[in-house]
Structure 1
């Protein structure tokens, strides 16, 4: 069946919604002879009839949803008004399987409601709908209102107006300007039958049978077919999510760069998993673009290759070890040092107090050997049980793999889950007090989050300090289509504290040895242009190497049609000098429907 992610989570009462969203509720009754769908939708995001009962609202059924917990149907008035800001379609929430079919002419009586997908705390916009309906089928087999074509010409270049400061930054009460702002344009079509044609896929099909396309093929496009997210103020307005009203068995399995040829049409919905979504009862034909996974070049004898790779909750019960091993050996060319994020303990998500991950790591090392790679050695520190966030019971942590034939690890006793690693100066050189060691683990910045792992490596007689990170996730941030504009990024607070702690530690190393080779790498969960990155970089202590790439190649992750940076390798001035290094974001996962992780690994090659 189609996606179950249409679940109605945190539905509000009409009164609560109206209060939260500052909706205007009319005190006069709504009469059947005057109320049309466009009267219900109104010219803002909140219906002027919210909380009102309406009677015998007429329209043609354009789509029926029989699955999930948001069962119902869309219907549309074929006689549109002359106001482009008012939608002619609306969703009818029946709660049980609706007894109508596409093409039925119906009248609907019920209560106009504003439903917030994900609940009010999500900050999402609300969906105008009719609830507790009484539905009368007048006739069947009628022509469905022609789909409104959504294309590059119709979608404005500007993404959204700024929110009303008097309403805490909400755009709900603002009059829609569909010719000026993309979000207003999509809102003006909420519930209506819409169509896109010959669209390029910009986020691959996910496990929920969803994908993202763009109706603006030249908007921040890159050579592999995606749309790059380059700043908070330069949105990709042509993105739109595609779901299906049919069986998921028929949903195309697409990669970035593929095309949905022909017409894809259906009602325009709004949900908590991406905002405006075309729920298709007609899907275009998938034409494959032939995208292939990338392979980086092999490091030379005198180059040290350092990589970061989020292996997405890897535990011994997973079936992806061989695929990860092949990626490390073949696509990454067996880097000398690999910082792994999201290594789980020996029994994965089972929450029984197990924290050791030696079986997980050894299984990966064995798979790498079987794939023709080196016999890596490894170092890590087990976390305190259930204190580092991630999947409950999984105890994710960072792990260093290193090739002992190319690089050695300087073991220095004293590092454990709760002891902070320090820096000393010995004969003019920086030295860690423990190796491996955890950076400032008692700092509240790391509450329910992964603590950085620091270690000393030696390559051809030269010491390199490596700090493996997995910063706080973006969970809890408001979405790009939120009612609050600009959206609140609440997760940044903790991530900024973490970035400050990492930068301070790097500063300690550089104070002890100005020309020390220091690398801070991992899943930073933030963009290369973000304040998090600026804090990590400080006053030049570090610099994000991904910024050495052209802007169109700066991405490690693909989310809701935006290719973006989450994983980074930052380097100290001695490495950055004259840009005498090679940086590669190796695209093997984020663009593909059969990904083994949702992150692309990064590789840095330089001469210490």
Structure 2
């Protein structure tokens, strides 16, 4: 621009000195702002270039950015920098960082003198630079983004100044130094960083290259060759591009040739994988990803040549942009057979591979959102993977070996899409649409999946091109029935059942209806006499009342009485979620008062972290036995606890949970309900795997882990990071243990993908429709069922008095055979399979045996209300 008085507006404190001096007009005989860049694709690359006759001294000159957006401090200095020194060619470059310059309306001024950020050069907002500003204006250029009420200072480059339909992000004077004081002096720069070091982009026809510190140049589009010819010489092997390391070492353009092995142009990857015949080097991959969002449609088997500069994109080698030639068809390479564990993924990056092993579906947490599942095997090459501390002691060599084997024996199957919540959801084994009739569960297997191995989102994954052999080996089951049980107790996590919408649980009435339907279905099928609930809203019993009402509506009794009832505790503790107990009044009745264990009862039970424990005794109406049930939800492993550094193997807050377990055992030993209980049961989510300190603490106090006893080391109720273990428990004290008939987890939740749960917030309509009002995926934890054999105690009989025979000893007092005396305590009910009791001499025992033989009573059957 020729030096002149500029128009503009401004606010706040003017620079009060002498008048702004305007130098005489002259074209190209004064320093000018020659090129600038304020906004580009990706992270902004920003700079201001000045140009003048070589040898011109710009000391004492400054470059200023002036605010022009309506509603902002118009006329205020947003940026101020000393003018750069000129090189021998007369160019000076001021390199800026991203966001130094605004992306909207702004003015750039070259002045003699200095100003500070925040100074106002138009305090009266009259559109004219104030006369009391002590600066000499040398040159100015401005960008106007088209919004109304905005002011610029200098030659204005507006939205359509050159016929385009958007404001320029940068511009160049062409030729250098031209200054006719009009927008015709300026050519917009390439927005796609063409010309910037490292960029392979090309300007659109008529745009200027970005040439910071160098002569300006307009791109003139060249006519493409009319008959492109595929090269026979000068090709670079893909293995040479990949190299033997984790990153390519080639930084100059190359031409590679390969067969398209994976077409990923749709779905967000915007490219395709190619593979050449190989270089016989086992350390280099023969596959490569080509990022080409504007490429013509390709299919697997096309032979292409691609010219471009190799680079690393978040750790994966690729070629972006450049020329693409279709050289006909070619036979697909045979997929490389890989078996877990894979020693060196990098040497197969973007190659076509197949996994012949039978792999179990381990993890599906990201399936609904990203279309990914993790598959793998246990350490022995089969089955699923276990949490290390579910099968071995924390810190042991065995636990470390399990962890290492887990990490080595797994890989992700992706869906070749980068979008979130994709529709349709693609089955990882069959590659067909996921439906309720053709879905999968954790533990189902896939063999022979084939696809391109790549590295995305910090994960090695197969982008499948050919379906594998899917086997639904882990079919759904109905609720477990404990053989020999007369009464069942269940622990059930209801996963944030909140009647208050918009908090942790349902966000809408429809979501609450869907959530409630699944929970009611699950509890109905369990049909246990007593159910401990976890993660129900702690709102003074309102959520519990709503759930009980829903259960009774779904399960009307024949006589019209309520089939279900809840223990009215009101609000317990201060957490948003709490524990609760429901029961069937036709089967049991509460005995005594409910009791709560919190820090006020025992300081070891930290209720700033743990939810308070809830205990209630129940009288079995069939046997007249009294059993106490304590439902618990200890602190999770997710977040840290103050003063508790946690454990590398056992997670955060391990000490908090361990102290709580010790307090719980001591508390229950005091009969806290005052009901004179004949045995106690701990249920709930203890947030600890069975070899961890809280559980071993309870075992040392005389409690028996029933899932471990009846289902063994491979028992589980939860899947985290693809690893099995159980956090949900049934533990019996020594008095109750002989009456335990069995325990089992119902795998209706942990093995199901969350895609079918009640939530609707992020799902597409087709995925919302996968919900069904059944028990499956009612929660993320599996329910635990404990069966008790509570046979009625026979009434003692009094034998008629007799005189002792001279040859027989006098009768002795009847003795208690003891809890499980002469039997394996882990063998369930039998001779010792009842609660400890006194009374009943030998004749009474004989009478009971006769009654059993005659079918007169006392048969141990699972009892459910009809």
Could you tell me how far 1:71 is from its partner in structure 2? 4.0
Q: Is the 8 A contact 1:543 1:570 kept in 2?
A: yes
1:466 aligns with 2:630: yes
Alignment of 1:252-291 (within 5 A): 252=434, 253-256=439-442, 260=446, 263-271=448-456, 275-284=459-468, 286=470, 288-289=472-473, 291=475
- What is the aligned partner in structure 2 of residue 75 from structure 1? 274
Hey, what's the Cα distance between the residues in 2 that align with 1:493 and 1:376?
37
1:240·1:561 contact (CA, 8 Å) conserved in 2? no
Distance 1:198 1:183 in 2: 12
Deviation at residue 496 of structure 1 after TM alignment: 0.6
- The 5-angstrom pairing of residues 13-24 of structure 1 reads none
Tell me, in whole angstroms, the C-alpha distance in 2 between the residues paired with 1:506 and 1:309.
Answer: 20
User: For 1:219-368, what aligned pairs fall within 5 Å after superposition?
Assistant: 219-221=381-383, 230=391, 232=399, 233-234=401-402, 235-236=405-406, 238-245=409-416, 248=425, 250-252=432-434, 253-256=439-442, 260=446, 263-271=448-456, 275-284=459-468, 286=470, 288-289=472-473, 291-297=475-481, 303-315=486-498, 317-330=512-525, 332=526, 334-344=527-537, 356-358=542-544, 360-366=546-552
For residue 64 of structure 1, report the CA deviation from its aligned partner: 3.2
The structure with the larger Rg is 2
1:332-481 to 2 correspondence within 5 Å?
Answer: 332=526, 334-344=527-537, 356-358=542-544, 360-366=546-552, 369-370=555-556, 374-379=563-568, 382=571, 388=575, 395-409=576-590, 420-422=599-601, 439-442=605-608, 446=609, 451-459=611-619, 460=624, 462-469=626-633, 471-474=635-638
Matched, 1:508 2:508: no
Whole-angstrom CA distance in 2 between matches of 1:271 and 1:286: 25
Residues of 2 paired with 1:88 and 1:508: CA distance?
Answer: 65
Supply the distance in 2 between the matched residues of 1:531 and 1:70 (Cα, whole angstroms).
Answer: 46
Tell me the distance in 1 between the aligned counterparts of 2:239 and 2:557.
Answer: 62
Tell me the residue number matched to 2:286: 88
TM value normalised by structure 1 = 0.64
Matching of residues 36-185 of structure 1 within 5 Å: 36-39=237-240, 41=242, 43=244, 46-47=246-247, 49=249, 55-66=254-265, 70-83=269-282, 85-92=283-290, 96=293, 99=296, 101=298, 102=300, 103-107=302-306, 109-110=308-309, 112-113=311-312, 115=314, 127-130=315-318, 133-134=321-322, 136-150=324-338, 154-155=339-340, 182-185=341-344
Q: For residues 380 and 227 of structure 1, do their structure 2 counterparts lie closer, same or farther at Cα, with a shift above 3 Å needed?
A: farther
C-alpha displacement of 1:251: 3.3
Q: CA deviation at 1:339?
A: 1.9
Runs of 4 or more, structure 1, over 6 Å off, are 32-35, 215-218, 413-416, 488-491, 513-516
User: Which residue of structure 2 aligns with residue 605 of structure 1?
Assistant: 787
What TM-score results when the alignment is normalised by the length of structure 2?
A: 0.47
Flag the structure with more relative contact order, 1 or 2, with Cα contacts below 8 A and sequence separation at least 6.
1
**Alpha-carbon distance in structure 2 between the residues aligned to 1:238 and 1:66:** 30
Distance change (3 Å), C-alpha of 1:111 and 1:410: farther
Match of 1:207, SS? Answer: helix
In 1, Cα distance between equivalents of 2:730 and 2:241: 52
> CA 1:589–1:105 in structure 2 vs 1: closer, same or farther (change >3 Å)?
same
Equivalenced residues, count: 476
Tell me: CA distance 1:74–1:520, structure 2 relative to 1, closer, same or farther (3 Å).
farther
Are the aligned partners of 2:635 and 2:656 in contact in 1 as well (CA < 8 Å)?
yes
Per-residue deviation, 1:602: 0.9
Measure the CA separation in 1 of the matches of 2:294 and 2:326.
Answer: 19
Residue 329 of structure 2: SS of its match in structure 1?
A: coil
CA gap of 1:508–1:525, structure 2 versus 1, over 3 A, is closer
1:523 to 685, 702, 705: 685
State the Cα distance separating 1:109 from its structure 2 match: 2.7
1:55, 1:532 → 2: CA distance? 61
Contact between 2:487 and 2:787, CA under 8 Å: does it hold in 1?
A: yes
Structure 1: gaps (5+ residues): 1-10, 12-31, 116-126, 156-181, 347-353, 389-394, 424-432, 477-487
Q: 2:351 aligns with which of 189, 192, 196?
A: 192
CA distance in structure 1 between the aligned counterparts of 2:660 and 2:238, rounded to whole angstroms: 55
Cα contact 1:245–1:281 (8 A) shared by 2 = no
Question: 252-261 vs 395-404, which deviates more?
Answer: 252-261
2:654 corresponds to: 496
Q: Distance in 2 between matches of 1:526 and 1:311?
A: 18
Q: Report the Cα distance in structure 2 between the residues aligned to 1:489 and 1:467, rounded to whole angstroms.
A: 25
Aligned-CA RMSD value: 4.5
Change (3 A) 1:342 1:305: same
Higher mean Cα deviation, 190-199 or 205-214?
A: 205-214
In the TM superposition, residue 196 of structure 1 has moved relative to its aligned partner by 3.1
1:49-83 Cα offsets, whole Å, 9 max, x none, are 49x56643544332233456554433333314332
Residue 379 of structure 1 contacts residue 401 of structure 1 at CA under 8 Å; is this kept in 2? Answer: no
Q: Structure 2, unaligned stretches of length 5 or more? A: 1-42, 44-232, 393-398, 418-423, 427-431, 500-511, 641-645, 757-775, 791-834, 836-866
